[in-house]
Structure 1
Amino acid sequence: MTADVRGSTAATLGRIRRLDDGGRAAVRRAVQVTVAACLGFYPLQYVVGDPTTAVYALFTAVALGGLSDLQGAPSTRTRTYLAAVAIGAVLITAGTLAAVSTAVAAAGMLVVGFTVAYAGVGGPRVAGVANGLQLFYVLPCFPPFAPDTLDQRLVGLLVGGLLLTLADRLVWPAAAPRPHGERLLEAADAVAAYAMALRPVLQSPAAAIGPELAARRAALDAVARLRLSDIPPAQRPLGPGIRDRALLAASAATRVAAGRLADLADLLTDSQRTRHPGTADLVAASGDAFAALAAALRAGSPSPIATTGVDGALERYVAERGRRLANQAGTPAGLRAGLAGMAVAESARTAVLAGGGFLRAPAPDPATTPQQLWFLHARPAELVWQRVRANLTPRSVYLQNAVRLAVGLAAARVVAGVLDLSHGFWVLLATLSLMRTSAVADRAVFLRGFVGTVGGALVAAGLLALVGPDVDVLAWALPLVMMVGFVAGPLFGVAAGQACFTVVVALLFAQVAPANWRLAEVRLADVVVGGLVGALIGAAVWPRGGGGEVRRAAAAGLHAGARVIRDTVTRLTRGVSSGTPPDLNRLAALFDQAYVQFRTEPSGDPGPDWLIVLSVVHRLADYSSVLQARHAGGPYPPMDAAGALEGAAGEVSADYATAAAAIAVGDPPPARAGAALSRRLDDSGTPTLSGAQDATLRIVDGWSWLHALADDLDRLERALGPASVTAPQARR
């Protein structure tokens, strides 16, 4: 009993604390929506005497303010609201005409539901208003079929949208959220400082790995704040445009550079302390590049950021390494240190070029643009179409969510029409508000929503029975209840939100038309029907949501990576492909989306560290393209060296394929396979090389890359070991 009291007290205190941060946003939004809704509803209802226009004005404010999640700079929010009003006019017109029959309305709901939900691939700003846009079709697609009222409905839409836009700018306006560019700036500063601190350690074996380097490494925590999973969904730079893509690419390259610098420091153990002057120069040039990126971000300058320093360092390092290797100089540790240094330099170059794209600098020369930055030279329409097309696959969580929601809303519309439910749009509203991305989440939300609706229905029924036909009392009570309702959901959960919203709709419709306590009963029945439809569809259509898809995406990415390893090595050794290579970048993007959704879904056990697997897939995709671009054309190495490298690549590829197969069925990868692979590669020593310098570099780069892949496989096994995954749970 004491534990229950302590738990309840802690929960209450937690809700109060939330009022200090996220709770303030909920209160602000509730105030803005209430002001806009009431300023639209009361004059139109009681002064003009037009209930149709009044209801649409109120529901426009509710749809775009209460059911949507719109963040960003004030000007961005204003543009989004106005664009949503324009789209809403099309949807209201379509819904008004579709109300002619249940079949037409349900078919239209299927098309509109999918289109609006799938439009979320356009980024958080579009996804944030998607639920509100759905409501613009849901409201008018129910009887009566009254196309003669279309002008009133559109006027209500315009009034409600403009009032909400003004309220957003004038009534307790929200400050612009922290730009993602500031996070990138801090991370670039941290990487630059760490590179500068690491340089003397690489230059001299006598240099101590002192507290400054440790402190700089601790500062690399700023890089972790670039993870999408740590950024609020509405603020993530996931749009299809150049700036969002460039910001993501710069963030990813910065994270890779930070990781490789940390790996490089870990290689400097006492037994391996030798001079690495070439690698030190690479690291220093990379640090300068990140410092220049930070300076440009701080100034907001659209001028191109020079990459000449890091380009020159790479050229000098490659030439010097070729001469050293031609003379059989070098050790496995030196090769791995050199690969890490080159990876840092390549990442620095990518981050700088992508940062220029984010700052709207002129696009770099296409001949020197890395493959992953292709979008810097693309047209806006091409970028949008590429994003739409890339997600037209059953493995995309965007497509899955759109199909699930569209089928759920269409089924709810059929049920409401066949059963001839009064206020049938409440059925679809319940489906829209209670449906989630997985069956587990659907069940939990439905139960809480049902409990909240029962409580709200009892309160509404009692209030309507007590007040009777006295509309004045309901008119005075509506703003207060609306304010409490829009705060209750974000702070206290679905049950509180549904309870308050039930009271709100009862008070609203009791003012539009005569009503008694049975209106609350109707609301309860409609919510139950809508929630059941959503739960059944959620259980039938991709029921595991992001939790199931993230495992498939991980297995698919590693399996494709195994093929890419073989293909990349055969391109290095022979200049030909071993087959049609998979599009690993596209699979990595689908993996990204599944992981982000997985982090938003309820789970009793966090399970494996999928972020480690995701980083392995991204590094594999990025560096394979770097190697192919660096070694395009001949000359090619002799057959003995090429055969040895291809044989090693076959081993690495087989181990990655084995790990992918284990993950696909819910088992952990074989233990210590990565460590054993690293030992075999180390025991092989430096390959015996002869021939042209370019051919020598191909072999060395290939061997160094395989060493790094073995290290990544070891990380992956630790992340997905037996302590992180339970096969029976995964199979269930």
Structure 2
Amino acid sequence: MRVALAAAVGFYLFRYGLDSPVAATYALFGAVSLGGLSRIPGTGRQRAATMARVLPVCWVLVVVGTYLSVRTWSAVAGMLAVGFTLAFCAVGGPRPAGVAPGLQLLYILPSFPPYDPGSLGERLLGTTTGLVLLVAAEWLIFPEPAPMAYRERAARAAWTAAHCARALAVPPYVLGAADRSSAEENGRALRSLMVPEAERPAGPGVRERALAHTGLAVRTLLNRLARLPAPPRAPEREVTAVLRAVAGLATATAGCLREGPSPMGPYQELSSARAALSALSAQASGFAPVVLRGHAAVLEIADAALAMGAAADRVVRGRHAEVEVPPERFWYSTVPAPVLWWHRLRGHAGRRSVFFQNAVRIALALTAARLVAGIDTLPHGFWAMLATLSLTRTTLEATRHTIRLALTGTLAGALLTAGTLTLVGTHTNVYAVVLPVWMLFAFTVGPVRGVGWAQGLFTVLVALVFAQLAPSTWQLAEVRMLDVLIGSAIGAVFGLLAWPRGAHDEMRRAAAELLRTAAEVVVATTSSVAGGAATIVPAGAPGHRSLHHAVVLAESAYAQFQSEPTSLTGARRGPPAPVDWQATLIAGHHTLWGSERLLDPPVTVLPAATARAVEALGERMAGRMLLLSAALDPGGDTPSLSVPRIAPVTAEFSAEPVGAPRRYYAVVEWLESLAADLTRLSRGGATQEADVGSDAGGGPGGSGSRRPA
């Protein structure tokens, strides 16, 4: 209703009210571009806000397309640059990704005859009118209730964490079944699968990054609280003090996310309580191993809560946050917005990024379509490019399936169009009456029934439009069919040549690289801890930066892998994936977080026996990671579709060296979490979920702790 109303009002206003066919055309396609072709996430009012923000970009594209269209070579070069830039902007989050196809159309439209820069004013007037009408329709017609914001979800999860921490600080010092269920439910609510796409904190800005960091830290805190084992006796005063301080900071964090005061006071209180427990735990000779293991688990809870509070403060106050933390943990807090965009773009500027692959694929396909249309002077060559834009998919199989349906629908629409044009002839009044009804029908049925119906209905729609702009015959349907055939063929060719398997191979390759890099970091970390301060490796070392970059690429590949269309039978191509890809991402985040925490000074030299045990455990964990990496890598010598199961390794961590110090138990706690991730890795499709890095909150050092992307 919204798109049909905006497009019809704009078209009739200029075509019959002001007698400006050029402005009428641009008003109609301006509304169709962002309202029909784009898939902007969110409610109507959220979409309206996005459209209003990109209106200046629309003007630029119409101007550039108009002036570059006078020569084929300049139009082709412009299509290559504009096509890649708009598609690559998908790295900025769901909104830039959703609006990109419509912006592509607004450059394509003026790239074809008539090559008339003198009509630029009419083109801009029509485009602006169509988009303003669409914004008004999205804002006013059928207003939808706003979904729960991610900040509110995080605030509720923080309240739950506060309740759980209070329960753990009083007898019997364990969580009941109801509390565990509540923690699990609130943690699940922060997963991408459960969050509307428009509410996901996916942008490169300070507040978006901090909000994503807050969600990761809250999820980690809830998981750690739920897993905290019951103590063998009443816990020490320092332990209960930490848990009470965690509850206080979680409560303050929830208030901060709801525009309350900064959690500075509770943050400092928890920092002091954590330091006291750490000092107490350092007296290893006075405690049993099971108590030291409990201390290590509580210290991890404190770390997650501290990261949560600091991140939430940056969500609300941005670069003016009051909670001070080491600059490397929230490096983005003081970085200007253009630099943050540069980091995001640079992080994906490589052939292993699926965003880069998609941008190259669509840019080359559109460039080829524009070249063919210019050389062969296709009548209505705009339709060929529109077919390339709308039918090209991320995999060859999906593209082939889409094209087959589209050609079938276009053929049916062309036959109906030919019959209509033959019967009605030049009686434009008939077309004027039928057009708005057909628009409503097409924009309602097309998205519901699929690409075949959409192409068929749109074929009739454009015929009804062009028949009112100039005398048309049944040959218009023939031209439409030819253009769609050419455009879809170009899309199929580039789908075959440019990464035809989409994210399938890239997901395996990215996961394999992530595990290889994580194995290196595990070995380096355990060796540094075993050797003491003399051999400490800084958290900003190249290995950590490489691991974070590997996590970023794996998350983007996983996002596309989950969104790629299924095959004809409704199942993903090939056998069900034997890998829980999400566990791979969790392992990467856990490796980053734990390594940075363990390498924080001061670090004391471990006894010889303990040092050997730490190094041995690290090497075993790295060996398991390398084994899984080799099985995942599609480019290896013996790539395998089956991932070996990693048996639980709890027994390896239960034999403590005599007199082991506190840091040994911190290492063990970290390695045990990695072992749990690897155990889940080979369980496959049964535990897969479609949220990107859902438990990516391997911890506070997750996606917010290092520079790239």
- Give the match's secondary structure for 2:65: helix
Pick one of 224, 228, 233 that aligns with 1:260: 224
Gaps of 5+ in 1: 1-30, 690-695, 725-732
Residue 670 (structure 1) aligns with: 644
Is the 8 Å Cα contact of residues 264 and 322 (structure 2) preserved in structure 1? no
Task: Note the C-alpha offset of 1:240.
Answer: 0.9
- The structure 1 segments of at least 4 consecutive aligned residues displaced by more than 6 Å after TM superposition are 720-724
Query: Which runs of structure 2 are paired with 1:502-581 in the superposition (5 Å)?
Result: 502-572=459-529, 573-575=531-533, 576=535, 580-581=542-543
Q: Matched residues in 2 for 1:714 and 1:599: separation?
A: 22
Is 1:590–2:547 an aligned residue pair? no
Instruction: State the number of aligned residues.
Output: 669
Moved more, 483-492 or 465-474: 483-492
- Written as runs of structure 1 = structure 2, the 5 A alignment for 1:363-382 is 363-364=320-321, 368-369=325-326, 371-382=328-339
Distance 2:469 2:658 in 1: 84
CA contact (8 A) 1:553 1:590 kept: yes
Match of 1:177, SS state, is coil
Classify the secondary structure of the residue corresponding to 1:368: coil
Judged with a 3 Å threshold, the aligned counterparts in structure 2 of structure 1 residues 337 and 492 are, in CA distance, closer, same or farther, namely farther
| Equivalent in the alignment of 1:711 | 676
For residues 514 and 656 of structure 1, the distance between their equivalents in structure 2, rounded to whole angstroms, comes to: 68
Partner secondary structure for residue 282 of structure 2: helix
Q: Describe the superposition over 1:100-144 as per-residue Cα deviations: whole angstroms up to 9, x where unpaired.
A: 333322221111100111112222222221111101111111233
SS at match of 2:561: helix
* Contact 2:76 2:371 (8 Å CA) reproduced: yes
Q: Aligned AA for 1:312?
A: S
TM-score when normalising by structure 2 = 0.88
Q: C-alpha distance in 1, partners of 2:582/2:439?
A: 41
1:558–1:659: 8 Å Cα contact kept in structure 2? yes
Q: Deviations over 1:492-529 (max 9, x none)?
A: 22122212111111110111111122212211221122
Alpha carbons of structure 1 residues 506 and 704: separation in structure 2 relative to 1, 3 Å: same
Partner deviation per Cα, 1:657-703 (whole Å, 9 max, x = no partner): 11111122344443344x2x4322323x24534xxxxxx44434223
Is residue 296–residue 662 contact of structure 2 (8 Å, CA) maintained in 1?
Answer: no
- The correspondence for 1:599, drawn from 562, 566, 570, is 562
Aligned partner (choices 78, 90, 108) of residue 60 of structure 2: 90
> Aligned partner of 2:98: which letter?
G
RMSD over equivalenced CA pairs, Å: 2.7
State the distance in 1 between where 2:233 and 2:361 align.
59
Higher relative contact order (CA 8 A, sep 6+): 2
- Mapped to 2, the partners of 1:236 and 1:56 lie a distance apart of 33
Q: Which residue of 2 aligns with 1:233?
A: 197
What residue number does 2:583 align with?
Answer: 612
Opposite residue 613 of structure 1, the aligned amino acid is T
| Cα drift, residue 646 of structure 1 | 2.0
Cα distance change on mapping 1:336 and 1:171 into 2, 3 Å = same
Within the alignment, does 1:125 sit opposite 2:88 as a pair?
no
Q: Distance in 1 between matches of 2:440 and 2:44?
A: 22
Query: Offset of 1:362 from its aligned partner?
Result: 6.1
1:541-583 deviation line (CA, Å, top 9, x unaligned): 1222223322222211111110111122233234436784152
Is 1:108 aligned with 2:68?
no
2:651 to 679, 684, 688: 679
Q: 1:36 to 1:198 in 2, by over 3 A?
A: same
Matched residues in 1 for 2:678 and 2:350: separation?
28
1:582-619 deviations in whole A, cap 9, x for unaligned? 52222212222222222211342552321222222112
Among 648, 659, 662, which residue is 1:688 paired with?
Answer: 659
Q: Which string of whole-angstrom CA distances, capped at 9 and with x for unpartnered residues, describes residues 261-301 of structure 1?
A: 2332xx44xxx845444555444432332222223334555
2:254 corresponds to which of 287, 294, 312: 294
**Aligned counterparts of 1:453 and 1:235: Cα–Cα separation in 2:** 36
Answer whether contact 1:445 1:494 (CA < 8 A) is retained: yes
Counterpart-to-counterpart distance in 2, 1:229 and 1:319: 41
After the TM superposition, which residues 360-399 of structure 1 pair with which residues of structure 2 at under 5 Å, given as runs? 360=317, 363-364=320-321, 368-369=325-326, 371-399=328-356
Residues 1:145 and 2:115 aligned together: yes
The sequence identity of aligned pairs, in percent, is 37
Q: Deviations over 1:432-470 (max 9, x none)?
A: 111222222212222222222222222222222221111
TM-score, normalised by the number of residues in structure 1? 0.85
Query: Structure 2 stretches of 5 or more lacking a match?
Result: 634-638, 690-709
Q: Which residue of 2 aligns with 1:702?
A: 667
Change (3 A) 1:366 1:404: farther
Please identify, of 233-242 and 313-322, the stretch whose mean Cα deviation from structure 2 is larger: 233-242
**What pairs up with 1:597-676 in 2 under 5 angstroms?**
597-603=560-566, 604-605=571-572, 607=577, 608-629=579-600, 632-664=601-633, 665-673=639-647, 675=648
Measure, in 1, the Cα distance between the counterparts of 2:687 and 2:21: 63
Report the CA distance between 1:322 and its aligned residue.
Answer: 0.6
Match of 1:421 in 2: 378
The answer to whether the 8 A contact 1:460-1:503 is kept is yes
CA–CA separation in structure 2 for the residues paired with 1:260 and 1:349: 13
> 1:538–1:360: structure 2 CA closer, same or farther, 3 Å change rule?
same
1:251 matched to 2:193? The reply is no
3-state SS of 2:266 partner: coil
Q: Write the letter of the residue equivalent to 1:663.
A: L
Q: Counterpart of 1:257 in structure 2: which amino acid?
A: L
Assess, with a 3 A threshold, how the Cα gap between structure 1 residues 417 and 649 changes in structure 2: closer, same or farther. same
What secondary structure sits across from 1:547 in the alignment? helix
How much does 1:399 deviate?
1.0
Q: Does 1:196 align with 2:159?
A: no
Report the equivalent of 1:330: 288
Q: Would you say the 8 A contact 2:207–2:318 is kept in 1?
A: no
